[in-house]
Amino acid sequence: MASELDSPICRWQWPHQPGGVLYCAVCAIVLCAHVKALLPGTPSIPQQIQENRSAYFHALEQADEALRQTGEIDISLMEETLKGMLATQLLSVINKADGGANTS
């Protein structure tokens, strides 16, 4: 996932402008293109960001601070945040297939 988030198209739109919405959409599209599939499951990553913005905005703030301090792009916390959201999205497919028995 790191290479997708660090791609030129994602660098084109710095995550914090405006509020990372375009960044989120572009990264979701890049990820789907990378795996050559529309990823199943709900809530989707954009839905999760909408429902709980605090972790996402914390990752944006950390990326901004790293850029200010070092002049380098460091989106490692954003990557971890999005990985967790992707896991939640895909786990919903497993839970649905499992009849809802798997809640971990």
- What is the torsional sign of CA 75, 78, 82, 83? positive
pLDDT digits (tens, 9 = 90+) for 17-41: 555 666 667 777 778 888 888 889 9
Domain ranges of the chain: 2-97
Q: Considering the entire predicted model, what is its pTM? A: 0.70
* Segment holding 13, helix H or strand E: none
pLDDT digits (tens, 9 = 90+) for 60-86: 888 888 888 998 888 899 889 989 999
